[in-house]
Amino acid sequence: MAGDVRDQVRDALATQLAARDPAPFDALPEADALLERFDFADDPDPAIDGYWVNEPYARVDLRRDAESGEIRYHVLEPTRSDFVSYVAEDLRDVARRVLLDEEFENDDAGRAAFADRLDEVIARHASSAPPADRWIVRYYLRRDFLGYGRLDPFMSDPAVEDVSCDGADVPVYAYHRDHGHLASNRAWAADVVDSLAIKLAQRAGRHLSAASPLLTTTLPDGSRLQATLGGDVAARGSNFTVRKFREKPFTPPELAALGTFDARQLAYLWLAVAHNRSVLYVGPTGSGKTTSMNACAFFVPPGHKVVSIEETREVNLPHDNWIAEVTRTAEDSEDRRAVSSYRLLSEALHQRPDHIIVGELRVDPDVVRSFFQALGTGHEGFTTFHAESSTDAIRRLTHNPLDVPPDLLADLDVIVTQRIVDEPDGVARRCWQISEVTPRDDSDRPDVRDVFHYDAETQGFEQRNPAQVPREIAVDRGWSGERLRTELDRRQRVIAALAERETFDYETVAQRIFAFARDPERALADLDVDDDNVQQPVRVSDA
């Protein structure tokens, strides 16, 4: 590692250590003493970025391979001397006995109490060790007992969205929000991968075994786990993928600032959702379908009743009148029956929801048809679906094995297509197109018409056709053309203002959107937004 980067790390360590309370230990380690424990060899591959994920013990450097030009995800943690490894293993046994002898609740307070007991154990049993060794032992014990063990640096990095361990002795991959899939410098032996997969399952309260080697579940922090235990179903041994859960979901102005949508598109979707139009979000895996669906669900008027149905929990709404339901698979005990998406969807129709959210439509025809039947009975809905485009989505829905009757799709209003695109600064998620669904009497399936489309050359969005959905809303509401223009322009200005001011906080954005729903004029005044026409408005069809 270059000397200047070494100096930056030393300065960061000194700053972080100076800010820490030394209790329960008598002394903090010197920055240089801790720095020596990192494997900072002078690497020929330059670091293009570096940051702490658990200061000052776990760090990530993004390095560009000199030959291939590929960016690699380099995890740095303090190296463990033989002495530190011995002390850590000895204290790990003591900590296990503490867990067995004392009761700790599985919540934040319980975890904090156990962390304090760990500190007491270290202070009592490792008092003669040098300060740096004691703090390194403390880091690894906390990482392994309270964190995700070897996986913890990946899980602690807010820039990482997915973590994939594809098998033994192969690099662990991190999906970085700016650079996509990156191979890391971490690869683990088969027994380590087996242990990690089993521990992750146990952390979710589930079980992996040779008899039941496949698992999809939700971790306590909301992250989604798919794990396979090695054996005859996994040629390269045990493997797992963790899709990290964002505690505070992306908000509409945040997606505008990121360039996923522009303010004009979000104003269009805001008007549609607020006036009971149904939206289907399509795209390949990892394109941000659920993220966009969740963000646009902010536009559901306050007080409207929402029921969400998912196989693994991802939807997170600011609405009070929201019922969140998750499917259940049959487990080891006979008294634990499976609860399917179809069953939950059937029950949801008896709960009088205004809006139904199904996390994802898959290959179960009963679930897919029930969702579209619900749209036809006055329940507006949002869901996601794997498809490359709006036309591909219609084709897949109306053909085998789903075979949704075309007349059921008549109640679907808008299709939002997402894609992952390559841009000069890295990969990005973009709204590829927003299309409106138009029923046709002379066809075996509905027609779709693009309203907005991503322009790869300008890396911006263009409106290709006038929007029909806003015009239909205006007719339903008895609005004049001028009133419709005002409704769209005001929403566009609110999104643009919040994005420009970097107002992304979950609660704050929800309050602003809900305030607009109750009293638009006052909401605009509170935001100090001029009530003038926007420069690039949504074009609306004349009829």
Q: Give 348-402 as a DSSP string.
A: HGGG--SEEEEEEE-S-HHHHHHHHHHHHTT-EEEEEEE-SSHHHHHHHHHSTTT
Find all residues with CB under 8 Å of 68, minimum gap 6, and list them.
none
pLDDT above 80: residue 30: no
Of 543 and 183, the structure prediction assigns the larger pLDDT to 183
Are the C-beta atoms of residues 454 and 443 closer than 8 Å to each other?
no
Query: Which has the minimum average pLDDT: 37-51, 351-365, 442-456, 485-499?
Result: 37-51
Highest mean pLDDT among 125-139, 208-222, 244-258: 244-258
More confident residue, 476 or 222: 476
Q: What is the pLDDT of residue 354?
A: 96
Q: Check whether 347 has a pLDDT greater than 60.
A: yes
Q: What are the tens digits of pLDDT across the range 214-248?
A: 998 889 888 999 999 988 788 889 999 999 988 88
Average pLDDT over residues 426-430: 89
For the ranges 7-16, 102-111, 416-425, 533-542, which has the lowest average pLDDT? 7-16
Q: Does domain 252-328+337-527 have CATH number 3.40.50.280?
A: no
Q: Coil, strand, or helix at residue 186?
A: coil
Q: What local confidence, expressed as pLDDT, does residue 23 receive? A: 57
Q: Which residue has the tokens 């996923």?
A: 260
Name the band, by pLDDT with cuts 50, 70 and 90, for residue 16: low
Q: What pLDDT, on the 0 to 100 scale, is given for residue 53?
A: 93
Which has more pLDDT, 445 or 239? 239
The pLDDT of 28-36, averaged and rounded, is 76
pLDDT at 333 over 60: no
C-alpha to C-alpha distances, 173 to 126, 239, 431, nearest whole angstrom: 36, 12, 26
The answer to whether 380 and 276 have CB atoms below 8 angstroms apart is yes
The pTM of this model reads 0.85
Most confident of 34-38, 91-95, 149-153: 149-153
User: Residue 20 pLDDT more than 70?
Assistant: no
Domains in the chain: boundaries: 159-245, 252-328+337-527
H or E element, residue 153:
helix 152-156
Whether the Cβ atoms of residue 375 and residue 414 lie closer than 8 Å to each other: no
pLDDT beyond 60 at 1: no
**Residue pLDDT, tens place only, 370-412:** 999 999 888 999 999 999 999 999 999 999 999 999 888 989 9
Banded model confidence at residue 348, pLDDT cuts 50, 70, 90: very high
Q: What is the pLDDT of residue 533?
A: 64
For domain 159-245, the CATH architecture is: 2-Layer Sandwich (3.30)
267-325, pLDDT tens digit by residue?
999 999 999 999 999 999 989 999 999 999 999 999 999 999 998 888 999 999 999 99
Per the rule left: phi > 0, alpha: psi between -120 and 50, beta: everything else, 330 is beta
Phi, psi of 120 (to 5 degrees): -65, -40
Q: Which of 83-97, 192-206, 469-483 has the lowest mean pLDDT?
A: 83-97
Task: Specify the higher pLDDT residue, 541 or 102.
Answer: 541
